[in-house]
Amino acid sequence: MTSANNNTFSSNLGAILAAVGSAVGLGNVWRFPYICGKYGGGAFLLIYLLFVFLLGGTMMMAEFIMGRHTHHTPSQALPMLAPQHKGWRFVGHFGVLVTFVTLSLYWVISGWTTSYLTDAATGTLTHLGATTDAVTNYFNSFASSTWHPLVFLLVFGLIAMAVIMGGVRNGIEAVSKILMPLLVLLLLALCVYALSMPGSAKGLSYLLLPDFSKINAEAVLAALGQALFSLSVGIGMMIVYGGYIPNEDNLLKTTIWITLSDSIIAILSGIAIFPAVFSCGMEPAEGAGLVFKVLPVVFNSMGAVGQYVSIAFFLLLVMAALTSAISLLEFLCVWLTEVSGIRRPLSAIICTAASLAVAVVLSLSNGILGHITIMGRNLFDLTDLLSGTYMFPLCALGLCIFFGWEMSPDDIRDELSNHGTLRIPYYPALMFLIRYIVPLALIVVIVSGML
């Protein structure tokens, strides 16, 4: 296969699976259930879905259009699309920075996940028994130790780097085509098992029956942030993937498929987790530790089958994390290749090494570097807060204002209609959303985050 062929996805299905691979990640299986649990289940789910389809889907279309039109990362795509205002390139650069920070955090949590997979397989988790204290202490001493998390984050990083070195079609697409169907199968099996547990109905109704009394401004903001993060939109990731989408693909259909798949996988993760948690008499409102501190207790109270269920679950989490991490790494790698002219393999090595170096510091900040605090937070928590609460929505705001007000409407229509071959009756609605509704919602999120 020529290297030119290796630079685009081979088909519409390949493009969809790779973009779904980017979207479906720790955000769906680790973050969504605990945030949904924290803000009251079903009511949060409804608001989240509204944001996913109305705002997230709109942003995704905008990014695909910019990417397929320019075949560049945001740093170069924005000045190309609006040559009269080159200052917009800073929004693109900012997207690269947010991607770098997100990837560094992602390495750390992916490392935890990989370590828990081996712990599940070797029986270490099972030996902790079904007591909350033992499982919580295990997690705390693991995350704050020096070498244990580092080994796993480095191994995970090297695997992702190997995929990126394989290229777009032979690396990213090939891995996504194998891992995504496998992930869905595993998730379905876990859902069936969770639903068969006694008392599971309570967990299901928690997830699906809306109770609006728990909804406040904070929950609405969390839903919007989660919608952007989960769909991988707002930082220009889908501008990079948009460049790989074949020209004859219908961008509306592609967006709908990805958005639907991402939401269904988040809901299925809730179905796999909540009934099991309730069935063991526990609460899902534990927060970020739900997967690492609550679920092992749940697995250990299932009896002999618990170990297999925990292996399946952490395998699922590792696969989801891998396809998202490779998309973040791809973004950085293409950007570096673009600005420096170096070849892809070297670029992959440099981007992996730099982001892993930051990840090492973030990981150590949970332990021996824990004394370094800024605004009362260690470096890991601070970076998490900055990237999720401020940088993501801020970058999304820049991109959507650029798209709605700066990019030529002719170029947008041309790309959406595949050069006039598709009807696009939804065009005015799309532009209304991206010009007014999405920026307004993002401004509300950013301002209230600051307050």
Residues contributing to the site for ligand PFF (CB under 6 A) = 22-23, 25-28, 99, 102, 229-230, 232, 235, 237, 324, 327-328
Distances (CA, A) of 143 to 25, 112, 297, 324, 370: 20, 8, 18, 22, 11
Nearest to ligand PFF of 73, 337 (CB atom): 73
- Shortest distance, CB of residue 92 to ligand PFF, whole angstroms? 14
- Shortest distance, CB of residue 262 to ligand PFF, whole angstroms? 7
User: Hey, what long-range contacts does 83-90 have (CB within 8 A, 24 or more apart)?
Assistant: 85/406, 88/398, 88/402, 88/406
Nearest to ligand PFF of 271, 282 (CB atom): 271
Nearest to ligand PFF of 204, 322 (CB atom): 322
- Shortest distance, CB of residue 99 to ligand PFF, whole angstroms? 6
| Residue 341: exposure state from Cβ atoms within 10 A (0-12, 13-18, ≥19) | exposed
Distance between first and last Cα of the chain:
54
- Shortest distance, CB of residue 197 to ligand PFF, whole angstroms? 26
Nearest to ligand PFF of 26, 311 (CB atom): 26
Pair 24, 323: CB distance under 8 Å: yes
Give the CB-nearest residue to ligand PFF: 27
Nearest to 140 by CA among 149, 130, 150, 131: 149
Rounded CA gap, 332 and 444, in Å? Answer: 29
- Shortest distance, CB of residue 183 to ligand PFF, whole angstroms? 12
Rounded CA gap, 282 and 298, in Å? Answer: 8
- Shortest distance, CB of residue 124 to ligand PFF, whole angstroms? 26
Pair 239, 32: CB distance under 8 Å: no
Which run of H or E residues covers position 33? helix 32-38
- Shortest distance, CB of residue 24 to ligand PFF, whole angstroms? 6
Pair 11, 246: CB distance under 8 Å: yes
Nearest to ligand PFF of 72, 306 (CB atom): 72
Nearest to ligand PFF of 26, 276 (CB atom): 26
The overall longest dimension of the chain from CA atoms, in Å, is: 66
Q: How far is CA 372 from its chain centroid?
A: 28
Nearest to ligand PFF of 23, 298 (CB atom): 23
- Shortest distance, CB of residue 106 to ligand PFF, whole angstroms? 7
DSSP 290: I
What would you report as the CA-atom Rg of the chain, rounded to the nearest whole angstrom?
A: 21
Q: What type of residue sits at position 31?
A: R
Nearest to ligand PFF of 135, 168 (CB atom): 168
